[in-house]
Amino acid sequence: MITGLVVLAQATADGNAFAQMLVGGISFGAIYALLAMGFVIIFKATSVINFAHGALTGLGAFLVVAFATVLDFPGRFLTSFPEWAQWTANVLTAFAVAALFGVLIERVFLRPMVGEALFAVAIVTLGIDIVVRTITNDFIGTQPRPVGAPWGLNVIDLGWVIIAWSEVIQIVVTVVLLVAIAMFLRTRTGVAMRATAFDQETARAQGVNVGRVFSVAWAIGAFLAAVAGLFYSVFPRRATGVDQATAFIAFRAFPAVIIGGLDSIPGAVVGGFAVGIAESAANTYLGFEFLGNGFPGIVGYLLMMVVLLIRPYGLFGTPEIRRV
């Protein structure tokens, strides 16, 4: 709120800086929104608090590197297509493989835990996080690995604001994904997922295959994490590429989940953009350089604490989260 006031005061003084701040905040917020949404979908559908979301992000980003630059698959067989189309095909393949890994992780490590205490399952995801992150980091190595994005460092200069092409693409992709997920939730499988999220036993009584719902939820969560991992690893975020710290971005998205209310998908989206904009505003206006480079990372948590003081269940959360 205080941040908001400062933002407004400064904005009237300096329109350009405000617009620039918003562009940065919205595009970074999109990354948080994708991560938060995946986290919430997994939590709602399967009742698992997934502390391995960071590992999924790092893994997804690394898969993009692997498919886009190392393997060049399936791009190497698409020689009649332009470079950017080959790259896109590679990245989409990486996303699909990331989704498969999500399904696999749930099936192997978490399915046997169905019915155990929420807490015990959360601890298992912590273990998964460490294992997956360690293995992924071995593959990444010590040097950052660029993803070879075709848009490179190109920007659009509108005079009053500068937007990177990557930001444009990222915002468009995020909006498309939000719409796609909203539409998915209205399909037969989506209805089954919402039913399962609300009451597993009753969903099973309707003939819903709850195991399949779990698989779909993890596929979506891991897919969204991979998309977020890609966009976090390009200019103007971390243009050097994917490295061993990429996975930690998920922790900066965690406040977005709580702000949104833990069990609300629209809440996750709003929370994601709120945290992105708050961080961007703090960078632009508050100039906390003396607090060190880590400061943007805590803005989300500060915002989270303020929101929780006013609304203990987040902006869109259910006061009492049901246990199934």
Partner 1 sequence: MLAVENLEVVYNDVVLVLRGISLEVPDGKIVALLGTNGAGKTTTLRAITGLLDMHEGDVTKGEITFDGADITEEDPAARVRRGISQVMEGRRVFAEMTVDDNLRAGAYSNRDANLVKEARERVMTLFPKLADRRNATAGYLSGGEQQMLAIGRALMQVPKLLILDEPSLGLAPLLVQEVRDIIVEINSQGTAVLLIEQNANMALSIADYGYIMETGKMVMDGDPGKLLKDEDVKEFYLGLHTTGEQKSFRDVKHYKRRKRWLS
Binding site for partner 1 (CB under 8 A): 115, 188, 191-192, 194-195, 198-209
CB of 200 to partner 1, least distance (A): 7
* Closer residue to partner 1, CB minimum distance, 154 or 209: 209
CB of 190 to partner 1, least distance (A): 9
CB of 319 to partner 1, least distance (A): 13
CB of 309 to partner 1, least distance (A): 26
* Closer residue to partner 1, CB minimum distance, 195 or 253: 195
* Closer residue to partner 1, CB minimum distance, 159 or 319: 319
Helices (H) and strands (E) in the chain, counts: 12, 2
Q: How far, in Å, are 1, 21, 257 from residue 7 at the CA level?
A: 10, 10, 23
CB of 283 to partner 1, least distance (A): 38
* Closer residue to partner 1, CB minimum distance, 14 or 199: 199
* Closer residue to partner 1, CB minimum distance, 6 or 315: 315
Listed residue (66, 215, 76, 219) closest to 147, CA to CA: 66
Tell me how long the chain is.
324
* Closer residue to partner 1, CB minimum distance, 240 or 318: 318
CB of 318 to partner 1, least distance (A): 8
264-268 contacts at long range (C-beta below 8 A, 24 or more positions apart): 264/40, 264/314, 264/315, 264/316, 264/317, 264/318, 265/37, 265/40, 265/41, 265/44, 265/181, 265/185, 266/316, 267/40, 267/314, 267/315, 267/316, 267/317, 268/33, 268/36, 268/37, 268/39, 268/40
* Closer residue to partner 1, CB minimum distance, 191 or 308: 191
CB of 228 to partner 1, least distance (A): 27
* Closer residue to partner 1, CB minimum distance, 27 or 200: 200
Listed residue (52, 85, 87) closest to 67, CA to CA: 87
CB of 47 to partner 1, least distance (A): 13
* Phi, psi of 91, rounded to the nearest 5 degrees: -65, -40
Q: What is the DSSP string of 147-189?
A: ---TTTT-EEE-SS-EEEHHHHHHHHHHHHHHHHHHHHTTSHH
